[in-house]
Structure 1
């Protein structure tokens, strides 16, 4: 598994690639460059980096260049608060981040108190925007939207079958799994097994045994790829023939590295891929040059969050927190993932989710009936 150890101070030089020029307008990126989901964090860093390079190549913002400042929170709530406080002390113009819902929610409290604009590209838990803070935004959808798509898929394709719902006890995973379970119950399907694992756990033999004993036909997992990859592999080894389904935390090539052929057919929900959009070409080429796998939505949405911040600053006409927040609430922004507009709570208007399937080591959009 990839472990990208990127210290806070040296992140710009090592990853952002912007150089050591005068820091005209600083954009903070709160993400995980270490820890279990560092591979996802790496995608957000390269996505944000490319966006800043592209914007600077076209003249920057308000006559100044943008500079990326990366803070590693390892998807840990306490570390995320420390990163947020550091960004506040450094008076960043805006924050793109954080990556995980469990880290983003406590960090958002710091930004709210200090008035700093935060735009997360990936945190999907509804609680993030539930308080309606005027300076907190997200360019992705929410779990109560994504989870419904997965739940309805199960209702349509596994009617009369035995379903299990499992989560990793974290804000993102549990929140998503709860919505799936609620959707199933509303649709008249009883969840035969509802359980949890611990993030970082590696031995799922007891869980698999329980699922086999229940005669489970499909397993929905709320969590990230490291645990589900091991779960899928161990399920095959123990003879459990069940369909595994997850959320957008599975959009990473490391999943297949963990599972190998056992991952074939695993499903997950995510926003429609921006990979086929001509505007994504530079980002894809950047990943190739860096020797990285083709970027997924974590990279594209980080890119789009930087675009939104930059365009918001232009509309605001100054580096000013309140003016930027007002500009984001009143504007519509053309990004690599499409047109983005925010509602009163800072959620993106009309988010979309589709199903993907892992096939021959690649994640491809599942054809709808």
Structure 2
């Protein structure tokens, strides 16, 4: 065979092989269902982003090990919004370009709201494990769900507790001016005001602040017995530490934004006695124990929203399996109108027609010193 003809045959064979490999690769990718996990993987709220990431990742691993979802393996794609609304929209648009069908996230309400608009425009179903502002599900978006409670529910628990236990005391309210922090503070204020308790101080601080001496002076001047904090652990812990250093012994109360061990690390010994609203501890549920053992094997200590993120994946998987479809719109319709209860690691979950869970998901905790000497939160 002439050398030139041999060369041409080899080239044709190589070309056919490349096409075959490309088609095989394409067929394989078509059999992979894309989920997105969006949250603050960096920045001040990265501790919560790690919780979301580990929860969703473990859930996807477990589904894939059992054969996948409706015959397809799930590919989990991570998006870091850094707790910033603009970056959240960027992550959402990236997910659209990647062909993501379902999103677990975001965490911060101020990020979830604009990001969810992108998902709605592109037919992507999203379940947030931690965004509690009522507006998230009050806008009539059929693709948006949350697996946590709402701030009007959380504020009701906090406001009623204040009215019952601090009836004749002086209450200050401080928030971080964010969608979450101010929203939660205002919901709590509304409830306690309605029950006859008027705050002696109402102040907002900026996220990222570190020197709260002016605020602490105002709290001291108000003679507050209780400081209600609407915000997350970073500023909350710093405010508490500086209060104690200045000799201000008012009790601090916060919401789920301080539900991480880092709050105690930032607040120091004065964290003892802090009050906090959060959902009933899912780690005590028998249905969560097998998953907790898997986290232990990975040397990851699940906190707060880890199991909420795991449960969000479970809900999508169960609904998709029930209807035999991976179409996000069909799954969303099933979740919203199917009237079903889904078995998850955080307990039984069902949704109303807004996309909210139907159970009231908040109780009161107190931060106390544990047997190992660390300070953690214990359900009252």
Tell me the TM-score normalised to structure 2 length.
0.88
Root-mean-square deviation over aligned CA pairs: 1.4
Measure how far apart 1:348 and its partner are: 0.7
User: Residues 132 and 344 of structure 1 are in contact (CA less than 8 Å); yes or no, is this contact kept in structure 2?
Assistant: no
1:286 and 1:254 mapped to 2: Cα distance?
23
Answer yes or no: is 1:322 the counterpart of 2:319: no
Deviations 1:91-128 (A, max 9, x none): 21211110110000000111111121111111000011
Hey, what's the Cα distance between the residues in 1 that align with 2:80 and 2:90? Answer: 10
CA drift of 1:339 comes to 1.0
1:263-274 paired onto structure 2 within 5 Å: 263-274=271-282
Find the counterpart in structure 2 of residue 298 from structure 1. 305
Answer yes or no: is 1:347 the counterpart of 2:356. yes
Of 85, 109, 113, the residue aligned with 1:105 is 113
- 2:379 aligned partner: 366
Task: Give the counterpart of 2:69 among 61, 71, 93.
Answer: 61
- Between the aligned partners of 2:65 and 2:171, the Cα distance in structure 1 is 51
In 1, are the aligned partners of 2:319 and 2:334 still within 8 Å (CA)? yes
Aligned-pair distance for 1:200?
Answer: 1.0
Structure 1: 4+ residue segments shifted above 6 A: none
Determine whether 1:190 maps to 2:198: yes
* Structure 1 residues 258 and 287: alpha-carbon distance in aligned structure 2, compared to 1, 3 A threshold: farther
Shift of 1:356: 1.2
Note if contact 1:251-1:363 (Cα within 8 Å) is conserved in structure 2. Answer: no
Q: How many residues align?
A: 346
Matched, 1:280 2:293: no
Per the alignment, residue 256 of structure 1 pairs with: 264
Q: Among residues 198, 209, 230, which one is paired with 1:201 in the alignment?
A: 209
Which region of structure 1 is more displaced relative to structure 2, 137-146 or 304-313?
304-313
CA displacement at 1:243 relative to structure 2: 0.5
Match of 1:335 in 2: 344
Which residues of structure 1 form unaligned runs of 5+?
Answer: 1-20
- How much does 1:362 deviate? 3.9
The whole-number CA distance in structure 2 between the counterparts of 1:323 and 1:97 is 20
**1:237-272 Cα deviation digits (max 9, x unpaired):** 000010000000111111111122121111110000
Higher helix share: 2
1:219-230, aligned counterparts within 5 Å?
Answer: 219-230=227-238
Give 1:288 deviation, angstroms: 3.1
When Rg is computed on C-alpha atoms for both structures, the one with the higher figure is: 2
Alignment TM-score, normalising by the size of structure 1: 0.91
Note if 1:214 corresponds to 2:229: no
Structure 2: segments with no counterpart, 5+ residues: 1-27
- Cα offset, 1:289, TM superposition: 3.7
Aligned to 1:130: 138
Aligned counterparts of 1:334 and 1:285: Cα–Cα separation in 2: 19
Instruction: Describe the SS at the equivalent of 1:297.
Output: coil
**Per the alignment, do residues 70 and 261 of structure 1 end up closer, same or farther by CA in structure 2, a change over 3 Å counting?**
same
CA distance in 1, matches of 2:298, 2:235: 27
Looking at structure 1, the residues matched to 118 and 334 of structure 2 have their Cα atoms a distance apart, in angstroms, of 21
Q: Secondary structure at the match of 1:153?
A: helix
